[in-house]
Homo-oligomer: A and B are copies of this chain.
């Protein structure tokens, strides 16, 4: 029984947001997935799996990625929220179809 409706987005959309934003910031920084994994002390395939949205990283690990990319963790989080909002915009598909 739910008291009220809340805007809870499914975990898979969040994981896709995490992946898209990590990729975006990593590419802006000019790092390869392997170099970023190494810098963070993770398994070499870790960043690749995060970017594909098949891993739900711990906050500690995502924060470490943000540190390695010299980006505040909150900026990554903000960008993830914007990414989701953009995915959910009803006009988005319509706009795409029009082109």
Residues of A within 8 A of B (CB): 6-9, 11, 14-15, 18, 56-64, 67-68, 70, 72-74, 76-78, 80-81
- A32 CA to B67 CA, complexed, in Å: 33
Known contacts A18-B59, A58-B57; A64 and B8 CB within 8 A of each other: yes
Starting from the known contacts A14-B59, A14-B60, A58-B58, 4 additional A-B residue pairs (CB-CB under 8 Å) come to A6-B67, A56-B59, A56-B60, A57-B58
Q: Closest CB-CB distance, A22 to chain B, in whole Å?
A: 11
Once the chains bind, are B64 and A73 in contact (CB under 8 Å)?
Answer: no
Q: Closest CB-CB distance, A57 to chain B, in whole Å?
A: 6
Smallest Cβ-Cβ distance to A68: which chain B residue? B6
